Amino acid sequence: MPLWSIVPTWFDIERRFSRSMGYQPGASFQRSPNNEPVSTLQLNLRRISNIRTAFIRAEWQAARRLGRRFADIDIASIINDLIDVVSQMAMIVAGSTLVGGAIGAGIGFGFFGIGALPSGAAGAAIGLEVSTWILAILGLASIAEFFVDGLPQIFDHYVRGIKVAWEGTRGEPGLNPFGGDDPQVVDRAAYHIAQGHEEVVILLLGAIVAYLTRGRGNASVLASEMQASSKGAKLGQWMLEHEEALKRHPDLQNAGPRRGALDKQESPPPPPPPNRRADEPEPKKPLGMAEHEVPCFRLSEKHRNLAKEFDDQLKAQQNGLNDLTVDEYLKGRKAFTDGDVVRDPKVARDARRAFSLDMESKFRNQLRLEGRPPSEAAALAKKMTSEKMATLAALHNPDLFAGGKDIIGDFGDRRINSSIGSQWPSRISGLDTAASNIPDINRETTKVNAKLKKC
């Protein structure tokens, strides 16, 4: 059976609910023989719709978090593939949780014959199944001992997010005894689901590092094994390019199998150098790069009403710039001036799609709270989203011209984005000089220290 075939779709989940519950009148709740409110099929399908929206939103949030967290190893080139695989893996958890009846839906199937809550024996079972699936998809079976044990506890983020969306979707305002939907339910659910995505990616990369270091594996051999997988081949090449940076990254140092009492213990830290006493403090590290104030960026008179947007975009560019090491900045600048930086249209397209779906969902929920009928709210939300997206541009923080990576950090006003971008060429030479003055030996550990301001 193809590995992708075991991943449930949202249509599969909705169909299971529909077949089990059958047609039921009423928008949200009906009464049981004991006069207790019981959720209807329509309400449960709305709950699933909110969970689906939260999953879509979580992909964007997780990609943005990981892009910032691992910007120093150019994760942007593989982030879409990683999020795609992790999201599909999360669908197995969602299918088991929802159809398994973990949230009190009254449906007791279990998508794979596994209990819905990923804890205890059920958690171990679904953890083994899901870990086997994702490692097979990526061609990473060799790292299983460093990956499997850490997965079940991460599932709690997914279950929490699903539960938040389920319980926060309570029905139409004024039509049920519990009030209307929580207007923040999708945002809160997406936060937990995005945490799950982020931790799975970190666990996966950490397991690769553990295999290459503590497991004494060979990166070239592992990459050749990953070549057999269409999803893993690109990740394998990226791993080879960034092997040393991955091994040094502080977030990837804790993965690994549990140690037993008879396992060989790690060797103690080395003694201090002979020319320094044990109680003598370590020598001071370099102080870093002195702050460089970039010539101010001018806000056009015709954009005075967008002053806050200008300040926000400039601040985001400054934060992104100062997240780069001097080495990353100089290499990014060289790549741009040499014409080696090429925008991947898929990166912007995927980010734009996720952002527009998020915006449309918010518009639709707001219109429903204002009392608009569902069909009218949906059509109007789509129109409002289309009009708004036409004014927005995908933002690189910092700009690609200023050494940034092809990672979409946010969306902002198109006019302001163009204005700031067009002013960079006449303002960046001083920053290039300041960065170039940092000694080569310190560039990989020294952060850029730039100040951007409005005229």
Other beta carbons within 10 angstroms of residue 56's beta carbon come to 18
Residue-wise pLDDT tens digits, 226-280: 888 888 888 989 999 888 889 888 888 764 443 433 344 445 555 555 555 555 5
- Residue 343 backbone phi and psi in degrees, to 5: -70, 130
Could you say which DSSP state residue 182 is in? -
* Residue, of 418 and 351, whose pLDDT is higher: 418
3-state secondary structure of 293: strand
Closest CA to 219 of 194, 237, 196: 237
Most confident among 99-113, 137-151, 435-449 (mean pLDDT)? 435-449
3-state secondary structure of 4: helix
pLDDT value of position 202: 93
pLDDT value of position 127: 62
Least confident window among 21-30, 149-158, 192-201: 21-30
Helices (H), 139-282: 144-147, 151-168, 185-212, 219-226, 230-241, 243-248
Per-residue pLDDT band for 103 (boundaries 50, 70, 90) equals very low
Amino acid present at 293? E
User: Across the chain, what does the average pLDDT equal?
Assistant: 76
* Bridge partner list, 396: 408
Averaged pLDDT for residues 409-421: 83
pLDDT value of position 406: 57
* Residue, of 388 and 297, whose pLDDT is higher: 297
Place of tokens 């207007």: 183
Structure tokens at 3: 């590995």
Residue-wise pLDDT tens digits, 286-312: 457 889 999 999 998 888 899 999 998
Residue-wise pLDDT tens digits, 58-95: 998 999 889 888 887 888 888 888 999 999 888 888 88
Least confident window among 38-52, 133-147, 412-426: 38-52
pLDDT value of position 122: 43
* Bridge partner list, 412: 393
What's the angle, vertex CA 252, arms to CA 128 and CA 57, rounded to 5?
A: 70
pLDDT value of position 205: 93
* Residue, of 121 and 349, whose pLDDT is higher: 349
Per-residue pLDDT band for 118 (boundaries 50, 70, 90) equals very low
CA gap 68, 75 in Å, rounded: 9
Per-residue pLDDT band for 409 (boundaries 50, 70, 90) equals low
Closest CA to 134 of 209, 231, 243: 231
pTM score: 0.54
Structure tokens at 283: 């020598």
Residue-wise pLDDT tens digits, 192-228: 999 999 999 999 999 999 988 876 678 888 888 888 8
The percentage of the chain sitting over the pLDDT mark of 90, rounded to a whole number, equals: 14
How distant, in Å, are the alpha carbons of 40, 45, 63, 188, 246 from that of 202?
A: 39, 33, 12, 22, 11
pLDDT value of position 385: 86
Averaged pLDDT for residues 4-33: 66
Per-residue pLDDT band for 153 (boundaries 50, 70, 90) equals confident
Residue-wise pLDDT tens digits, 369-387: 888 888 898 899 889 888 8
Closest CA to 60 of 347, 324, 317: 347
Residue-wise pLDDT tens digits, 321-347: 888 889 888 888 887 787 765 556 676
